Amino acid sequence: MNGNESGYSQEVSIAIPEHTPVEEPGDVDKSTGDQGGTIDDTDSGLEPLADSDSDGIPDNVELMWGLNPDDPFDSSLDDDADGAVNLVEYMAGTDPLDPANCPGSDDIFKDVIGQVGDVIDLSWLNANGDLTFHPLMATMPDVLDNTVTATEPGAYLYNVYDTNGYLVYRVRISITANLSAMGAYEPGAPMNLDELLMGITIQISGRAILRDVPVGIGTSFTGAASAVSYGDVESVEFDLLPYGLVLAEPATVSVEIDGENPVVERYDEESGAWETIAGASCADGLVNFSTIEFGKFKVSAEQETAPAASGGGGGCFISSVCP
């Protein structure tokens, strides 16, 4: 998916300021029915507006913005790449297609990261015990007593409602098989995170994200491992969490791997295929690349120069070559 947050379907504590639902111009009430099937918005006394995918944005607004009323994950996109996802822009009354018209902060979207087997505690978000968590998909586990048990890698999305049925938060829980490094990003402060075993470093600008976000590096497989070899190619696979987080400014990623002809790929959840990231470079045993979207990555490099093929053989990526 394109946009500033992608729709992965399948922590660190963050201080939660008091939130009051915001009305956008036109007297639209942002309250949401507790069952999540319709939005209790009223516009000049009209009937409540339908919300077929229960993502917090009424169907007519989604159609106006070019979104899919049956896709709950597009509310987590940021089509103008200003750091605020569509749901946050809707609740703030700003324009999701104009990066110059965006919320100054975001206290609605909350990220949590962890690994398979963790019991994710959400009591920090529900200190008074009066909020209700609703999974966006029936296949996502329920939140019971403010906890979720992470049994599979992936991202789990929840709408959070108060006792009046107001949608107050969107929670995304990103689970990797093995979380090997974690840090806390704060807006305005550049962040460096190092994963020593696999030799991965990520650098994030202080202007990249509007809100406090836990950032992690992990693997899609259980247990610690660094690189694997496939014939003459060495490959490192890793996850950058939260899944689907897209930055207003690119992050720089460095991976320790020797070789030539580096190829950097990111797994695209929508197409179900690995996509090549252009512009990778390598020097001194490091492959460097930039990305604006977190997720699953694979970095490969040839361990020896292969002889030139006689003809147009397939499966060959063309990229930069280490000196």
Q: Where residue 185 sits, what CATH number does that domain have?
A: 2.60.220.30
159 and 226 assigned to the same domain: no
Q: Render pLDDT for 7-62 as a digit per residue (tens, 0 to 9).
A: 444 333 323 333 333 333 333 343 333 333 333 444 444 455 799 988 899 999 99
Question: Is residue 321, in this structure, part of any structural domain at all?
Answer: no
CA-to-CA dists, residue 11 to 100, 185, 188, 239, 296, angstroms: 31, 12, 20, 16, 19
Strands 167-176 and 109-115: parallel
163 and 117 assigned to the same domain: yes
183 and 160 assigned to the same domain: no
Indicate the SS3 state at residue 160: strand
**Among the three residues 134, 155, 176, which one is the final residue of a domain in this structure?**
176
Question: Is residue 192, in this structure, part of any structural domain at all?
Answer: yes
Query: SS in 3 state form for 274-314?
Result: EEECCCCEEECCEEEEEEEECCEEEEEEECCCCCCCCCCCC
State how many domains the chain has.
2
206 and 140 assigned to the same domain: no
CA angle 190, 196, 202 (to 5 degrees): 30
Q: Render pLDDT for 100-153 as a digit per residue (tens, 0 to 9).
A: 898 888 889 999 999 999 999 999 999 999 999 999 988 899 999 999 998 999
Helix (H) or strand (E) holding 65: helix 59-65
Q: DSSP of 3-62, one letter per residue?
A: SSB---------------PPPBTTTB--BB-TTSSBB---STTPPPPB-TT-SSS-HHHH
**What is the residue range of 169's domain?**
1-176
145 and 40 assigned to the same domain: yes
Give me the CATH number covering residue 40.
2.60.40.1380
Residue 318 CB neighbour total at 10 angstroms: 8
**Among the three residues 176, 195, 229, which one is the final residue of a domain in this structure?**
176
51 and 101 assigned to the same domain: yes
The pTM score is: 0.76
Q: Render pLDDT for 285-307 as a digit per residue (tens, 0 to 9).
A: 999 999 999 999 999 988 655 44
